[in-house]
Amino acid sequence: MQTGKYHPSKPNPAHQIYLNWLQKYITAQGVKDAELWKALQKALYPYRYPTLHFLLRVKNKLKRIGHKRLPGSLHRFLGTQLHRDKYIPPTGAVNFGSLRRVIPMNQNFGYDRGQPVDRYYIENFLTCYQDDIRGRILEVGDDNYTRRFGGDVRGKDFVQRITQSDVLHVTKGNPKATIIGDLASGDNIPSNSFDCFILTHTIQFIYDVRAALKTVYRILKPGGVALVTVPGISHIGDYQWSDYWCWSFTALSVQRLFEESFPTDNLQIETHGNVLVATAFLYGLATEELRQEELDYRDRNYQVTITIRAVKPHTP
């Protein structure tokens, strides 16, 4: 800077002397005005932290140059690297890559690529509440989760917590079924009989959901627990399932439906998923193709899987 000239933004000895005097003066006067102090600290910043101030000015200057001179594609690339999830590409600049297709990678929920995304949440949920899986258990279709989560490993011993395992199926012909019945009608399913009911991704196939949940309540023993999962954002599968898929749910619809049968205080309802997980699931990608932090990030606006722990009261 030339002698005798003053620059309003660059550090200047005379300006520093004035700011130091001003700070002492308003301190002596007992001035408490927050906005005044904030403005003063901002003005003193270049003198107290000259190196940081210089680097900040260089950064801002480079940013301005970059906006003006870098090719748009390079500018967008740098934006994604520097800001990651916070960077929003302008209209027309989104890189769809492998996702620019109208047919999913897999139409079997991702089973052919690995573990389906919704199963990640279902199995984490059952792991979290596996202490509830004890006594007499009912599961739909098979007893896979009953056997997988119904025991404790203590040292080298596997301690079974289950006294009886039942499998419910809606029609005859399933060799694993011990009870043939329809949850909506409740026929052939005994009341007050089960300590735990594992009901994963099933009630979307039942048109009369209200009747089914009344049956769930009725067949549990007092103090019994239903561990339930339902789909939120999901495709409806291939020919095997699409002809029977009636519903997808939200946390609100689940809350209101279950409250018609269970006390509100006896319900624990959680949502799982986010926009990335929802997109991956719809494309038929597998759990293994996502990072754990991506799977575990929860955004209630993108509910892929909803989990419900419902407890029947000990007294009516």
In Å, what is the CA distance from 136 to each residue of 95, 147, 160, 177?
Answer: 52, 12, 12, 15
Both 59 and 199 in one domain: the answer is no
What is the tens place of the pLDDT at every residue in 283-301?
Answer: 999 999 999 999 999 999 9
For residues 231 and 266, the answer to whether their CB atoms sit within 8 Å is no
Residue 84: per-residue pLDDT: 59
Domain boundary among 41, 63, 86: 86
Domain boundary among 86, 106, 134: 86
Higher pLDDT, 48 or 69: 48
Helix (H, G, I), strand (E, B) or coil at 272: strand
Does 190 reside within a domain? yes
For residues 40 and 19, the answer to whether their CB atoms sit within 8 Å is yes
What is the tens place of the pLDDT at every residue in 234-285?
Answer: 999 777 788 899 999 999 999 999 999 999 999 999 999 999 999 999 999 9
Model confidence at 4: pLDDT above 60:
no
Both 121 and 79 in one domain: the answer is no
Residue with tokens 């004890």: 134
Both 125 and 76 in one domain: the answer is no
Q: How many CB atoms lie within 10 A of CB 42?
A: 9
Does 8 reside within a domain? no
Both 178 and 306 in one domain: the answer is yes
Both 271 and 136 in one domain: the answer is yes
Q: How far apart are CA 76 and CA 89, in angstroms?
A: 7
Both 276 and 142 in one domain: the answer is yes
Does 272 reside within a domain? yes
Instruction: Please report, for the domain that includes residue 277, its CATH number.
Output: 3.40.50.150
Higher pLDDT, 108 or 214: 214
Does 94 reside within a domain? no
Higher pLDDT, 85 or 60: 60
Confidence of residue 36 (pLDDT cuts 50, 70, 90): confident
Cα-Cα end-to-end distance for the chain: 85
Model confidence at 203: pLDDT above 70:
yes
What is the tens place of the pLDDT at every residue in 146-183?
Answer: 999 987 655 555 567 899 999 999 999 999 999 999 99
Domain that holds residue 158: 117-311
Does 168 reside within a domain? yes
Both 143 and 262 in one domain: the answer is yes
Give the residue-averaged pLDDT of 213-234: 98
Model confidence at 225: pLDDT above 60:
yes
Higher pLDDT, 313 or 150: 313
Strand order in the sheet with 305-311: 179-180, 162-169, 135-140, 194-200, 220-231, 305-311, 267-272
Residue 53: per-residue pLDDT: 66
Both 122 and 72 in one domain: the answer is no
Give the residue-averaged pLDDT of 126-130: 96
Both 152 and 238 in one domain: the answer is yes
Both 136 and 281 in one domain: the answer is yes
Nearest to 112 by CA among 241, 285, 292, 281: 285
Most confident of 43-57, 84-98, 99-113, 202-216: 202-216
Does 101 reside within a domain? no
Nearest to 283 by CA among 89, 153, 107, 120: 107
In Å, what is the CA distance from 212 to each residue of 27, 120, 202, 209, 268?
Answer: 72, 25, 10, 5, 19
Both 69 and 128 in one domain: the answer is no
- Residue ranges of alpha helices (H) inside 112-201 are 117-128, 144-149
Residue 161: per-residue pLDDT: 87
Domains in the chain, number: 2
Average pLDDT, the chain: 87
Does 3 reside within a domain? no
For residues 79 and 89, the answer to whether their CB atoms sit within 8 Å is yes
Residue 157: per-residue pLDDT: 52
Residue 1: per-residue pLDDT: 44
Both 156 and 250 in one domain: the answer is yes
In Å, what is the CA distance from 68 to each residue of 55, 64, 221?
Answer: 20, 6, 71
Does 33 reside within a domain? yes
With pLDDT > 70 as the criterion, what percentage of the chain qualifies? 84
Q: How far apart are CA 119 and CA 111, in angstroms?
A: 10
